[in-house]
């Protein structure tokens, strides 16, 4: 499994916690930034993560900003991306199992480090259920101009 991770300045500290977890889980990852506390624009970090996941260069992406919302909005502009803003374990599980989410967005100002670790671990270890859910994911793909 290969993961690409990015944050803006509002998600920098939580990104460090998540990177530590990825190392513990022995998951190969690449960090595309940011690496400073100066104000930066979240779309500049959401775009490379989303593009590389959509291109198949990485299995999953993780984005962190203050709320996760801005990152999710930006990432979901990329065809083939299903980015879910998650702030609880159940939603992490369902976003993978039912929606086949390929990018996770988390808010540092919403989720503490302990819960973030649980969310990421749950999200990365939950498989897509397929079956009736595949039909629905195909309909989402069709909304992007692809075939259902």
pLDDT in tens, 89-123: 999 999 999 999 999 999 999 999 999 999 999 99
pTM confidence score: 0.96
Place 38 in a pLDDT band, splitting at 50, 70 and 90: very high
Catalytically active residues, by annotation: 65, 98
Domains and CATH numbers, the chain: 2-143 (3.40.1400.10)
In order, the DSSP letters of the chain are -EEEEEE-GGGHHHHHHHHHHHHHTT-EEEE----SSS---THHHHHHHHHHHHTTS-SEEEEEESSSHHHHHHHTTSTT--EEE--SHHHHHHHHHTT---EEEEETTTS-HHHHHHHHHHHHHPPP--THHHHHHHHHHHHTTS--
Assess whether pLDDT exceeds 80 at residue 147.
no
The string of pLDDT tens digits covering residues 17-26 is 999 999 999 9
């Amino acid at each position: 499994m290969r993961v690409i991770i990015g944050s803006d300045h509002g998600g920098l500290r939580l990104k460090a916690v998540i990177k530590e977890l990825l190392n513990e889980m022995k998951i190969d990852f690449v960090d595309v930034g940011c690496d400073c506390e100066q104000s930066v624009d979240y779309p500049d970090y959401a775009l490379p993560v989303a593009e590389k996941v959509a291109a198949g260069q990485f299995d999953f992406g993780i984005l962190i900003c203050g709320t996760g919302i801005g990152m999710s909005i930006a990432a979901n502009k990329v065809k083939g991306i299903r980015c879910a803003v998650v702030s609880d374990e159940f939603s992490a599980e369902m976003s993978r199992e039912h929606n086949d989410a390929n990018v996770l967005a988390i808010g540092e100002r919403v989720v503490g480090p302990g819960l973030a670790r649980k969310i990421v671990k749950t999200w990365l270890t939950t498989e897509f259920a397929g079956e009736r859910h595949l039909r629905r994911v195909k309909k989402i793909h069709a909304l992007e101009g692809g075939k259902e």
